[in-house]
Chains A and B, each alone.
Chain A
């Protein structure tokens, strides 16, 4: 099981060399995870393509680059974040910004929203909400085989904290804008923790975004706890430039009768790897994992989904769709694991892809492991071209070929956009996807969702 990349050691050395700096700003509890995590990382390392989970993504070429390490925040950079925030008109959300993985608001590290929800810096929360942190931090981000999750646990020291107390319904979504900005090539990591206690509801929008044209590598972990009877939505809008590499691991732990949906909308980015883990940890839970990826040039987008049915009578859906142009490559690996006692499981999976050129490539792989016998599971994958009959039908009514192709691609992608339950965001995504398909959206100067 030694499938690590040859550059793995460089990053464990980084921890050893900067241990004091990393630990100096965190609480003892968070630091208590670090040593074990780095040991795990030393064994597992950066996954190579020999690892089943990363078979179609070569991380070597990204990790071998000589990045500057962004281990502590720089106040100068925070000014940029402030400017950014003032710059944009607002979609009606509670906005939060992360700059290179750190929470930049110095005056107000944690704030309480009118409905009673707390949002802000994880670092600050680990002091002020130490009991909640003890209950949830590091409990869900568990990976047997992905060294990068452990590297994050060992080294990340800030990120977003969201705490939704029992019985709270937040009507306005919380929007987290992840900015990466530097005059140098940087490697950064952050850690988010979202706690949704029982009988609550919240939607979170995460926008991944780059502000300067350097090479960036981000390794982020988000842990989510969704309590009994709660509803949780997470929508990730990714729009980074071609020199940016983004690796996101999202772990969603669900309790009884809860409902959680994740939607990864990848509009642009050099390398994008999203690992989304859904743990159905109580009867009657429902999880939805959606994704849309539009890639061109040499971009690479990889979605790894892991749905674990640990209890009876849970439902899960996976729907991922992609349009790949030029030399772009994509990968989809959807795992469904049904434990022996998870009777009455319903689990569905679908992955559809359109390749616009002969050089674009898509790797798609279902992975079903079913140990219960009373289970309904289905999976399907397609990789194809634009439907020629449909294209001719539209053209025969006078619609130009280019326009007809756009209509068909848009219709294809709309199935995923439709799943967004926040109306204004859905409309804006429709526009953005249309722009992207037209080739008008190469690199946006500001946050996609707000100024699109």
Chain B
């Protein structure tokens, strides 16, 4: 579904991604791990279409279409969802109004009638239960005054409402206590279907105690330097990133 080839991208003129390759197939869960500053969030920004990340080279294909030519809202309607590392507070925009607009935009895109007010509220109730978020959150403005954990749970709730084909979760686990972490992971697991996929970006291994990835990648200095099964995550947990770092740096030395 997603094929990234030789992706180079920069932020404020500084090259962050330096030739990244990645392929995600339907039904897969990928974990992308890596030390701080390796380019994990830049990758998420490129996939979601955030302007700050400028693509200078390479291709990103999504179901055969050039993803880089699509507007962020088009990407969303085509099934891409970004779980934000730092969800934005939007005072004055109610969660209900926000989600209703989003859900009905998605429905219109699929040629479906908009949901009636009561059907929409029913859907919200179902999804709230599914992802175990506090009912009261839905009555407030988007993320306004939410705690860190509530914000992250709210991302998962939105994901449940929009049922994406490809979810990119950008460090959704960072700063979470163990309960919130469990809620986030359960949400991801419950939403799993054979035809959808998730890319879980994380710094720590602990989220992967709850979400079992099919593929684990290590992102280092703007490139995927290692790809393996879930055992790679455990190895990283044990040895830390230093191990990868020295190995890759040595390799680079040889090439030069």
Query: Measuring CB to CB, which residues of chain A are less than 8 angstroms from any residue of chain B?
Result: 387-390, 392-401, 403-404, 407-408, 410-412, 414-415
> Which of A390, A400, A415 meets B88, CB within 8 Å?
A390
CB of A396 within 8 A of CB of B82, answer: yes
Is B84 part of the contact surface with A, judged by Cβ < 8 Å?
Answer: yes
> Which of B49, B75, B97 meets A407, CB within 8 Å?
B97
CB of A390 within 8 A of CB of B90, answer: yes
Contacts of A410 in B (CB 8 A): 92-93
CB distance from B84 to the nearest CB of A (A): 7
Please judge, given known A-B contacts A394-B98, A396-B48, A407-B97, whether A401 and B73 are in contact too, CB under 8 Å: yes
Within 8 A of A (CB), among B31-79: 48-51, 71-73, 75-77
Contacts of B206 in A (CB 8 A): none
Is B101 part of the contact surface with A, judged by Cβ < 8 Å?
Answer: yes
Contacts of B91 in A (CB 8 A): 411, 415
Contacts of B98 in A (CB 8 A): 394, 397, 399, 407
Please judge, given known A-B contacts A392-B50, A407-B101, whether A397 and B162 are in contact too, CB under 8 Å: yes
- Can you give 5 contacting A-B residue pairs, CB < 8 Å? A390-B88, A393-B142, A396-B50, A407-B97, A408-B90
Q: Could you count the A-B residue pairs with CB atoms below 8 Å apart for me: how many are there?
A: 75
A389–B90 Cα distance when bound, in Å, is 10
| Closest residue on chain B to residue A388 by CB atoms | B51
Contacts of A399 in B (CB 8 A): 73, 98, 101-102, 105
Is B158 part of the contact surface with A, judged by Cβ < 8 Å?
Answer: yes
CB distance from B71 to the nearest CB of A (A): 7
| Closest residue on chain A to residue B73 by CB atoms | A395
CB of A398 within 8 A of CB of B90, answer: no
CB of A398 within 8 A of CB of B109, answer: yes
| Closest residue on chain B to residue A406 by CB atoms | B101
CB distance from B150 to the nearest CB of A (A): 16
CB of A411 within 8 A of CB of B90, answer: yes
CB of B158 within 8 A of CB of A397, answer: yes
A396–B84 Cα distance when bound, in Å, is 10
| Closest residue on chain A to residue B106 by CB atoms | A398
A403–B105 Cα distance when bound, in Å, is 10
A398–B162 Cα distance when bound, in Å, is 9
Contacts of A387 in B (CB 8 A): 88
Interface centre among B49, B71, B84, B98, by most chain A C-beta atoms within 10 angstroms, is B98
CB of A415 within 8 A of CB of B92, answer: yes
| Closest residue on chain A to residue B80 by CB atoms | A396
A366–B96 Cα distance when bound, in Å, is 37
Contacts of A390 in B (CB 8 A): 88, 90
CB of A400 within 8 A of CB of B105, answer: yes
> Which of A388, A398, A411, A414 meets B105, CB within 8 Å?
A398
Q: Which 8 A-B pairs have the closest CB atoms?
A: A411-B92, A398-B76, A397-B102, A393-B88, A395-B72, A411-B93, A398-B105, A395-B73
